[in-house]
Structure 1
Amino acid sequence: MTTALRRLRNYIDGEFRDAADGRTTEVVNPVTGEPYATAPLSGAPDVDAAMAAAEAAFPAWRDLIPAERQKVLLKIADRFEERAEELIAAESENCGKPIALVRSEEIPPMVDQIRFFAGAARMLEGRSAGEYMDGFTSIIRREPVGVCAQVAPWNYPMMMAVWKFAPALAAGNTVVIKPSDTTPASTVLIAEIIGGVLDELGHSRGVFNVICGDRETGRLMVEHKVPAMASITGSVRAGMQVAESASKDLKRVHLELGGKAPVVVFEDTDIAKAVEDIATAGYFNAGQDCTAATRVLVQESIHDEFVAALAKAASETKTGAIDDEDVLYGPLNNANQLAQVKGFIERLPAHAKIEAGGEQVGEKGYFFAPTVVSGLKQDDEIVQNEVFGPVITVQSFADEKQAVEWANGVEYALASSVWTKDHARAMRMSKALDFGCVWINTHIPLVAEMPHGGFKKSGYGKDLSAYGFDDYTRIKHVMTSLDG
């Protein structure tokens, strides 16, 4: 006897709807590898409907004074807290994340980030008015860009949805957001929460819309004539495709793509503390984080000691059931991602050595053991390309110059960290490292007030912070004659 699958639906103009043509895709629980829900496989009619709803809602939302938009966002944050257990359950089932960690590590920052952008709504900044030509006064208006087409990833579907909708709504834009086809459940629940708040406060529910679907759905959103901006968090390939599609009508593009964060450990560091923090930052969320501490560069004088300690830490790191509070991470998100991680291990060169892990765990689901690989060279595939799994690589460097060369010697440039007690060295490294973020003696903390975003193939634009808020606005110059 089979159990009926839960039915997820699009959220368009305040209504939950199936895809116009009735197509669906199965949503799989990565803990079991079995489907537990269906979601719409949306096509052009669904995208048209969502964009029309967002476009119709935009003028009234744009024209609200910032204090009114702030009220909405603050109420949304309150509802997130009130319905936290529902959000946690949806995210844990859909992603296989440990319940306790979603509760402690995702809900509080999400709520804080929504409240931050609620405040940012009232801090629209521009240069002061002034006379730059005799007889004329110039002023700057900062305005919303319009309808935003947003695509969120599967590694943090809830939190990345917040990073997208909160600044967009705060700035006065309306939103059509698409979650990954493997993780739509929590985003659909978010739509219910936001729709309820908009309705309660008397605003059009077309301000926020959710479309479920696959890459083709995302392509239709980006290429649609209505959105003024396309924002995606995803792979480099997906980002390039979005940039190319958006260029056809010169849409604004906001891209947060892959990463290959170097973790540069110098010989004067506290090895035990560094290993503890790096293992956590490398294995958290199964390493499915574009800032994960998975590419370690260790000064050769402490290499062997560090690798031994890291391998021990890996062997003591636990993956498993979502209700086990001793678990650091759950399964990989989907079968394709498990195959990708296994492929990297299977293709390791002969000079590489697996110090810990290296294999799938269990007979069901997509679990992979905490892994450490040493003996690697700078041009090895696993050093150059993003694994997006619980695999930490280790290289040995001779001096600061080589550390900088190897750290910067990848196509990604999102995040990095430096581990040393030497303040001057830390400052030199923070200047030399070509990454959007440099942590010193830590790795992975983020705060709402500071920007997150990279360079090179890690994309452009910023999430979080006032810089992220600014990305969802446009600048207009207004000049007035003073002679009446």
Structure 2
Amino acid sequence: MAVKTFEAQSCHVNGKVWDAGARPRRALVDPADGHVLTSVPDSAAEDVDAAVDAARAAFDNGPWPRMSGRERSRVLLRISQLIQEHADELAELESYNVGKPITLARVVDVSTAVEQYEYWAALAQTLDGATRGLPIPAFAYTVREPVGVVGAITPFNFPLILSSSKIGPALAAGNTIVHKPSDETPLSALFMARLFTEAGVPDGVVNVVTGTGPVVGEAMLRHPGIDKIAFTGSSKVGRHVGAVAGQHLKPVTLELGGNGAHLVFKDADLDAAIGAVIKAFVFNTGQFCMAGPRLLVERPLYETVVAILAQAVPGVPVGDPRDPGTVVGPMAGERHLAKVEEYLALARAEGKIVAGGARRPGAGYFVEPTVVTDLPATSRVLHEEVFGPVLTVQPFDDEDEAVRIANSTPYGLSAGLQTSDLARAHRVASRLHAGIVWVNDWSMLDPAMPFGGVKGSGHGRENGPEVLEGYTRTKSVLIAMPPAQG
């Protein structure tokens, strides 16, 4: 595998490089072999203050919130164009920083970001209010206004996409932003900060501060100058985010963990179902909150499906993320690999591993795609978010049992089913506790379709016109009408 390094990176505040003084620096490593790629500042609360001050000034006195939706739309469309122009650089950053297979980074991550900003550009022109006919003598109407300064906190697994899913709609609505990317994978966020400036985003509108959650993230949660928090991450941290935001009466959007169930009924197209099942648990090396790590198979098909997976899964290409043929790369970091290895040890003790089950020898944070059967119903491997390429398989006897098992975890982000019965597809989809349900495929996503969680998977929605509800406030205006003169 090629060894590559990048120049040392700095934060981006008020449209300029922010050196953060003599802050300690964090080394970023290539998950494929562990070599150091570059370093970024471990920022302090004072750096958050500077970023918030810049965002506050840009919101209170700058042009961005006062532009028409059409003017903001032109800038957002330019961002989309710049992402296309720098597609190779962004894909390379995601591949080296996260360990993504380069093909995945190009055709999914970068392409999705292009489509996101195209969509937000269109959505920026749709912000409007409504007149209301009232029985009182008043002319009444509503307007939608930006919430103010948005604190966006994003995770390690899809840095470009998940940053865009917050920054894009926040910009479309006229907000300003302080963004804390993951302390492990911030490179594409820092690159994008330069593109925002090139696209014509005014200084102070988008600010990027690197650092840890306990320092930078906590300062953002508690900062009086931040008006709203948009967070994607684990359910554990999300509960803390929601609690602190609540103390400060700060609105918050939480897109949290998942443990999606994938139901295969006996009338499914088996070839198509197997392809969707494998995609659902190996996509992005299983580091996908909307993954399908729990496979539920109707009993007449159970043994057949397990046998097929035992043969097919070891053939999934695992290896060098820069090889265009690689499907599964390394885990994004050593701690993520260690977490998956803990669950694999538990799976070996409690169930039966029919494919994979081990860390790959040599450098890098690689783990084999793994299929596990015969786990007890109470196993943590079934009920917790493993966040790696691990698939558990359980049988069910009827639709009611399938739905009961599917809904038995604390999560409710995604779910899916394979069936040729259209009535069943609608019926089961309506009973699954999930914010998004796929039928006869997995991970079909588009910026126009909202997603988000129920139960422990959070609240609020990303994407679609629904996302603007989280980045705007509705104001009512009533103008008294004088009585008619007789």
TM range, smaller chain: over 0.9
Judge conservation of contact 2:258–2:289 (CA < 8 Å) in 1.
Answer: yes
Shift of 1:18: 2.1
Judge conservation of contact 1:11–1:210 (CA < 8 Å) in 2.
Answer: yes
Q: Flag structure 2 segments of 5+ consecutive residues without an equivalent.
A: none
- Counterpart residue number, 2:212: 214
SS of the residue 2:17 aligns to: strand
TM-aligned CA distance change 1:328 to 1:4, over 3 Å: closer
Shift of 1:284: 1.2
Summarize deviations over 1:267-288 as a string: whole Å, max 9, x none: 1112222111210221011000
Structure 2 counterpart of 1:74, from 73, 77, 89: 77
Q: Which moved more, 1:412-421 or 1:105-114?
A: 105-114
Partner Cα distance (1:3, 1:159) in 2:
23
Judge conservation of contact 1:138–1:477 (CA < 8 Å) in 2.
Answer: yes
Q: Which moved more, 1:12-21 or 1:361-370?
A: 12-21
Q: Which moved more, 1:128-137 or 1:288-297?
A: 128-137
- Counterpart residue number, 1:277: 276
Summarize deviations over 1:436-476 as a string: whole Å, max 9, x none: 01111111110111101010110011111000122111111
Write the mapping of 1:330-409 to structure 2, written as runs, cut at 5 A: 330-348=329-347, 350-409=349-408
Write the mapping of 1:102-113 to structure 2, written as runs, cut at 5 A: 102-113=105-116
- Counterpart residue number, 1:150: 152
Summarize deviations over 1:161-197 as a string: whole Å, max 9, x none: 1101000000000011111010011110000111222
- Counterpart residue number, 1:46: 47
Alignment RMSD (CA, Å)? 1.5
AA aligned to 2:41 is P
Q: Which moved more, 1:296-305 or 1:349-358?
A: 349-358
- Counterpart residue number, 2:197: 195
AA aligned to 2:373 is S
Write the mapping of 1:305-316 to structure 2, written as runs, cut at 5 A: 305-316=304-315
- Counterpart residue number, 1:134: 136
Partner Cα distance (1:122, 1:135) in 2:
31
Shift of 1:5: 6.9
Partner Cα distance (2:385, 2:137) in 1:
57
Summarize deviations over 1:1-41 as a string: whole Å, max 9, x none: x9987311100001112223422111111011222211111
Partner Cα distance (1:349, 1:234) in 2:
28
- Counterpart residue number, 1:19: 20
Write the mapping of 1:297-312 to structure 2, written as runs, cut at 5 A: 297-312=296-311
AA aligned to 2:216 is T
Judge conservation of contact 2:347–2:353 (CA < 8 Å) in 1.
Answer: no
Summarize deviations over 1:134-153 as a string: whole Å, max 9, x none: 21121001000000000111
- Counterpart residue number, 1:178: 180
Q: Which moved more, 1:400-409 or 1:238-247?
A: 238-247
Judge conservation of contact 1:117–1:469 (CA < 8 Å) in 2.
Answer: no
Partner Cα distance (1:131, 1:425) in 2:
43
TM-aligned CA distance change 1:350 to 1:87, over 3 Å: closer
TM-aligned CA distance change 1:467 to 1:230, over 3 Å: same
SS of the residue 1:289 aligns to: coil
Partner Cα distance (1:182, 1:381) in 2:
27
- Counterpart residue number, 2:479: 480
AA aligned to 1:167 is P
The alignment of Structure 1 onto Structure 2 pairs a total of residues equal to 478
Shift of 1:120: 0.5
AA aligned to 2:253 is H
Judge conservation of contact 2:29–2:36 (CA < 8 Å) in 1.
Answer: yes
Summarize deviations over 1:332-388 as a string: whole Å, max 9, x none: 001000000000011226451101000111311101101100112332100000000
Partner Cα distance (1:414, 1:115) in 2:
25
- Counterpart residue number, 2:120: 117
SS of the residue 1:177 aligns to: strand
Judge conservation of contact 1:276–1:313 (CA < 8 Å) in 2.
Answer: no
AA aligned to 1:416 is A
Judge conservation of contact 1:377–1:395 (CA < 8 Å) in 2.
Answer: no
Partner Cα distance (1:91, 1:349) in 2:
33
- Counterpart residue number, 2:317: 318
Summarize deviations over 1:49-99 as a string: whole Å, max 9, x none: 000000111132111111111011001111000111111111111011111
Judge conservation of contact 1:230–1:246 (CA < 8 Å) in 2.
Answer: yes
With the length of structure 1 as denominator, give the TM-score of the two structures. Answer: 0.96
AA aligned to 1:424 is A
Partner Cα distance (1:350, 1:39) in 2:
40
Q: Which moved more, 1:9-18 or 1:99-108?
A: 99-108
Partner Cα distance (1:130, 1:81) in 2:
43
With the length of structure 2 as denominator, give the TM-score of the two structures. Answer: 0.96
Partner Cα distance (1:57, 1:424) in 2:
52
Judge conservation of contact 2:272–2:440 (CA < 8 Å) in 1.
Answer: no
- Counterpart residue number, 1:415: 414
- Counterpart residue number, 2:240: 241
Partner Cα distance (1:137, 1:407) in 2:
51
